Amino acid sequence: MDRTDDDEEDRGVLARLMEVLMDGGDVDSVHEDSLVHFAQAGKVKPALARNDPSFGDQWPLLGTSKYGLDMAEAWGLFRPESQDEFVIGVIDSGVDLSHPDIMKNLWRNRGEIPNNGRDDDGNGYIDDVYGYDFFDDDGDPSDEAGHGTHISGIIAAEANNTRGISGVCPQCKVMPLKFMDDTGYGYWGNAIKALEYALQNRVKVTCNAYGTYTPHKALEQAIKKAGQKGMLFVAAAGNDGKDNDRTPKLPASYTLGNVISVASIGQTGKLSWFSNYGKQRTDIAAPGEDIYSLDMGRRYKTDSGTSMAAPFVAGVAAMVWLTDPKQTYSQVKLRIMRSARRIDGLKVKAEGTLDAAGALMQSVDTSDTSRCDYNDPCHINARCTDTSSGPICRCEDGFEGDGWKTCDDINECAVDRPCHENAKCINSPGSYKCQCQSGFTGDGVKKCEQFSLCSISQIFIPCHPLAICYGRGSLGIPFCECRDGFKGDGREECLDVNECLEYNGGCDHECVNTVGNFKCKCFEGYQLAPNKKACLDIDECRENNGGCEHICINEPGSYQCSCPEGYRLAEDGKSCEDIDECAVNNGGCSQVCKNKKGTYECLCDPGFLLQKDGRTCKDVECKSPPRIAHAASVCESARSGSQPKCAVKCERGFQLAYNDLKCDTKGRFTGGAECEDIDECKEENGGCNQRCVNKEGSFECGCFEGYLLDRQNRRTCQDINECMLENGGCEQECVNTEGSWECKCFKGYWLHDGACKDIDECAQGKCDQGCENSVGGFKCSCKEGYTLGEDGTSCVDVECGPPPKVAHAVKAVECYGRSATGPKCDMSCERGFMMRNNTLTCGTDGKWRGTAVCEDIDECVENIGGCDPTAECVNLPGSFECRCPDGFDTSRDGSCVDIDECTDSRYPENGGCSHTCNNRPGSYFCSCPPGEGFSLKSDKKRCTCKPGFTLVPARSRDEEDQCQDEDECKGWFSPCSRKATCTNTPGSYKCECKRGYTGDGTYCRRRERGLSVDNGRQSVRPPPRQLLAPLGIIPQRAASREEPQQPQPPAEESPTRQEGNGGFLSAAVAGYGQPPEDIDDRVDDDACCDVLSLSLSPDK
């Protein structure tokens, strides 16, 4: 798309115009000529609201250069449809996890517990809390080179934190995937593992700033598979100033649909002198010179390179994806490519540089993309070709199959036998190689010969004992050569070579020469690497986490402890103590602040609701309480928190039986109140000393038989004394009682037919043992060995006191002292316990001996408790509990009953669904009314209308909401040319040029008068295809431009690292997850040494 300064201004005016129209503001003028222009009073460019102190050093974000991203407009247009966490995987050298400007925007694996040495989430990686280190195979992706930290800051440095800088997408999270060491080198196999880890965690965008010129089939297949799973692979084009179309830098130059290759430009818009380029294999450019970002050790620095350009594209891709999460990577890539700001002569496929705002405004659909890009149906070892009839899959060279589900490796060694008879054939995925057998020389295909005169020559002219003889040339002329580690003519002399004199033998620290060899030693605090040359720092954090409670950060020759967010380092420098956020200003909470380990939360008093800010508490007002019978007055309103109870006053003669009428947090009155008649007799019997009879609004007193009511106070009843008249008719004693009287006999007599007769107490068995009766009395006696009790009748033996207390035992059933029935004490246990080993007995000394134990019964054994099959039985001391899974309630009989979230008051009304709520066992889901215009939003609860439709709310409960088609042809913004007819269609429209005109309907021109005749029919030559521009942007004609000169490096280049087989040997090159059967994961000598280097510019 051609873009000019005027285009940029018009596009900004358009964005502000749409905001004014949506807010109901006034627009000075809107008119249409051949083009549409927009005018608004007081055009003001949106300001950047950033308090990051070094934001002014980030020229690509400021808009000071027209070749930057101008994030002011982009951030103003950014409206994310999804609030879900968007993660960008940075496959690089790791990230400084302690840098304060990126800590909060680091991805966090919630299923992993830090530093416990366990794989808590079962994903195959231990302690991968913030990502993973595939170079050292541990869970600490801390940066040792600084490269990955710089890239991560460009993408997602925290914004508006009064610190450092701001990232392109501060809403994004960065997942550190380390596969390079502190020298900036790593192995292909580890890069594949990192890519696989990102896919495992559903990462949609990865940033890749590394490369080599050596092809690697396994990595290409891994990137292709990532595309099939929806991942966009952003890659730096390289820093060698080369044409990637001629000399492809990989992986940036792989011709895969999900790869977007990024070159570098400076503030002038010119291609950086170090940047690779290519009209076919390099997609787009982005700022890559003098980029200010994060550095290790909580510092900041400026760097240049295509490594700095790629993260800008990754960040903008994330923003584009957030505006519509349903997009494919192909659509996101197309929006970025189509919106590129054009730069004449720039040798990249998009012919321009990244435009963040343009990408957000650009729109595409599936018809704009190849079906092979967004939904590649082919096998991993096949190529997809999109045709009019659909995609076609063909296996790549070296593989055979249908291309769709099978592409098996062709074993050329077993089929064609392509090697020499004296050579062995080694098969590899998609290829093979021939290698002469031991003792033979040649190319392995046409030649493998064995010929030498060494055995004859050694008799006459022997070689030195430390030399080897081998044949030279076609005649096998003998030649003596000293063995490795020695030098000389091979016959007379072979002297030891001191390898330590040249480049210190390749040793990092100390080189020690030996006879015919040498060895490397390391300084204290370091250990020798597997290559026996490099010295690696001893990671004190690997053993017992360095003694650190939480995070251990290894440093060269030392280490330091750190704490996660919400904790601070204690005085011992190793343990972490919780920060009590509530101690300062109550944590910002308006009511209750509750501190937690590593965090805190705000709570509200009963009746108050926590607001969306998570800190403020407010109550709700309730009005119009219900009517209460016999109530004299009822409150007019109440508040759920400050005054929840509704005051009720009853009529005279009635009292408030109960009042639980309260205002709840939903603005409704709950509970009720009742006014009941006052029963005066209930309170102190109404003042009556005997009977009180309640009446409605009153009461009266009465007396029992034998009493008379006091005539004056009418409340007191006086007893009638019957004994005052003839002793009540009694023989011996008359006893007056309240309301009556009774006759009694003296002690030792009993009343019979009104007469008093002597009682024979001995005949009644009053005594336990001996008894002697007398007139009016008796006397008890005991046998020898017994003592008369305090009651004077019983004979008792020596007794033990109360038995000892036994835990969970109830009161003893029966306990005996020393008697004929024995000394045993029987007791029982509480419910849920059973008696074990009761040996309690009463001793002859009056003391208890032995023990008794009540043991808990486990009701969950063999489900004795009778829990529902879907519930979990949990044994408790003396009891048990049946616990139902989420989405179910426990009924009274213990069974699990499904919760209807659509109607249950514990859930949002209608389950939170805007329309239809559908319950299902343990869960529920929302659905929309029938009709082609509705679609469910990303929250899966609210229904909205598809583009091209407008919501028409229901006018009554009997009707449903409808999505009505928008007639785009009736608006004052006609999408068609004035010389065309606009026809509305469901959700869209169609433009057709009027008679006498030709074109696509949005642009119509008169038919040319000159007609050509073809088979008797007149045909019109169509006009050249026109570029379509968004509203408010003037289409510009493509200006002629000169081919730019190829970028030239400075006269004296800084030394760079040697890429390719640089001497780094990996133990193995990893496959992509579990390798398919058609990929041979055995690695030959050439493949094992492939290393990757950082894509920093040579001057850094």
Pick the CATH number of 581-618 from 3.40.50.2000, 2.60.40.10, 3.60.70.12, 2.10.25.10: 2.10.25.10
Cα–Cα distance, 857 to 40 (Å, whole number) = 83
Closest CA to 156 of 101, 99, 74, 77: 101
Buried b (16+ CB within 10 A) or exposed e, 553-564: bbeeeebbbebe
Q: Is the pTM of this model over 0.85?
A: no
Is 147 a known active-site residue?
yes
Cα–Cα distance, 615 to 842 (Å, whole number) = 67
Residue spans per domain, the chain: 82-370+1084-1094, 423-496, 499-579, 581-618, 621-678, 681-720, 723-758, 814-856, 861-898
Residue 62 host element (H or E) = helix 59-62
Which parts of 899-1003 are beta strand (E)? 916-920, 923-927, 934-936, 943-945, 949-952, 962-965, 980-985, 988-993, 997-999
For residue 1049, give Cα distances in angstroms to 244, 247, 281: 16, 17, 21
- For residues 239 and 1099, is the Cβ–Cβ distance under 8 A? no
Closest CA to 701 of 711, 682, 686: 686
Closest CA to 985 of 1005, 966, 1012: 966
Q: Quote the pLDDT of residue 851.
A: 83
Pick the CATH number of 681-720 from 3.55.40.20, 3.40.50.2300, 3.40.50.720, 2.10.25.10: 2.10.25.10
The CATH code of domain 621-678 reads 2.10.70.10
For residue 668, give Cα distances in angstroms to 558, 605, 621, 622, 640: 64, 18, 8, 6, 9
| pLDDT, mean of each 10-residue run, the chain (1100 residues) | 43 40 38 28 42 93 88 91 91 96 96 93 95 95 96 97 95 97 91 97 97 91 93 97 95 95 96 96 97 95 97 97 93 95 95 94 70 67 70 79 80 78 82 79 77 59 80 68 87 88 87 89 84 83 84 83 88 89 89 89 88 88 86 84 85 84 85 85 85 82 85 85 83 84 85 82 82 84 72 75 80 55 71 82 71 84 74 83 83 82 87 87 86 83 86 81 83 72 87 86 68 30 29 29 38 34 29 32 35 43
Q: Quote the pLDDT of residue 1066.
A: 29
Q: Quote the pLDDT of residue 455.
A: 59
Q: Quote the pLDDT of residue 768.
A: 81
Q: Quote the pLDDT of residue 461.
A: 67
State the pairing for strand pair 205-208/87-92. Answer: parallel
Q: Which of 307, 339, 977, 1097 is catalytic?
A: 307
Contacts with 906 (C-beta within 8 Å, 6 or more apart), sequence order: 899
Is 307 a known active-site residue?
yes
Cα–Cα distance, 798 to 817 (Å, whole number) = 7
Q: Quote the pLDDT of residue 373.
A: 59
Do domains 681-720 and 723-758 share one topology? The answer is: yes
What is the fold, at CATH topology level, of the domain defined by 499-579?
A: Laminin (2.10.25)
Cα–Cα distance, 401 to 625 (Å, whole number) = 78
Q: Which of 99, 147, 150, 379 is catalytic?
A: 147
Residue 334 host element (H or E) = helix 329-338
Contacts with 571 (C-beta within 8 Å, 6 or more apart), sequence order: none
Q: Which residues pair with 176 in a beta bridge?
A: 90
**What sign does the dihedral 120-126-128-131 (CA atoms) show?**
negative
State the pairing for strand pair 352-353/341-342. Answer: antiparallel
Q: Does domain 861-898 fall into CATH 2.10.25.10?
A: yes
The CATH code of domain 82-370+1084-1094 reads 3.40.50.200
Q: Quote the pLDDT of residue 204.
A: 97
Closest CA to 1069 of 113, 192, 370, 460: 192
Cα–Cα distance, 250 to 209 (Å, whole number) = 10
What is the fold, at CATH topology level, of the domain defined by 723-758?
A: Laminin (2.10.25)
- For residues 199 and 229, is the Cβ–Cβ distance under 8 A? yes
Tokens linked to 38? 């927009």
Closest CA to 852 of 834, 837, 831, 871: 837
Cα–Cα distance, 88 to 311 (Å, whole number) = 10
Cα–Cα distance, 252 to 36 (Å, whole number) = 41
Q: Which of 2, 10, 70, 92 is catalytic?
A: 92
